[in-house]
Amino acid sequence: MIEIYTKKIFFHARDLSELHEIFLKIDGVLDVKIGKIEPIGDLHPDLTDSLDGIQIEFNPKKNDLSQLMDLLFSARDPFENPVGIFYEHGEDVPQIDLHLHFAASRGRQLAVTDANLTVNDTDLSAPRKCFKGFLGKIRNFSPS
């Protein structure tokens, strides 16, 4: 039997149980489990030590982390409620961090000032939305 190289990613957000079936239908996703995430260190003042979350085991040759994060952010707005992405291996951090920064600036109109300086937020009179996406390393995942 040929052994497939797989990776795991863990997401925290509200009401992830409905995403269980959606993630399973994605090509390259091998297993999805709902449970409790135990992060390493303090992450967010509104969060507890144990978070509801979902574990996704996938084949990185068929899909990548950005596809899974796109699905998460399309279903859960990180400007409304905290959304956490937890990793096992440090090699995933640059891609997750890049995607979090991309998601944080998505939807903002870019503008170029007279000094040829590009700025992200052109409407200073509108109330600023706070991006509540965060990244953390996982200590343990306990399936429910």
From first to last of its 144 residues, the chain has per-residue pLDDT tens of 788 899 999 999 877 778 888 898 999 999 999 999 988 876 656 566 678 899 999 999 998 888 999 888 888 888 888 888 999 989 999 999 888 888 887 655 444 455 555 455 555 555 556 777 888 899 999 998
Q: What is the token pair recorded at 73?
A: 């952010």
C-alpha of 27 from chain center? 19
Alpha-carbon gap, residue 51 to 35, rounded angstroms = 8
Q: What is the pLDDT of residue 35?
A: 94
Q: Which two tokens stand for residue 47?
A: 């969060």
Q: How far is residue 134's CA from residue 51's CA, in Å, rounded to a whole number?
A: 13
Q: Give this prediction's pTM.
A: 0.80
CATH of domain 7-143: 3.30.1060.10
CA distances (Å), origin 82, targets 52, 60, 115: 12, 26, 36
Is 9 in contact with 64 (CB distance < 8 Å)? no
Write out the two tokens for 6.
């797989």
What residue type is assigned to position 46 of the chain?
D
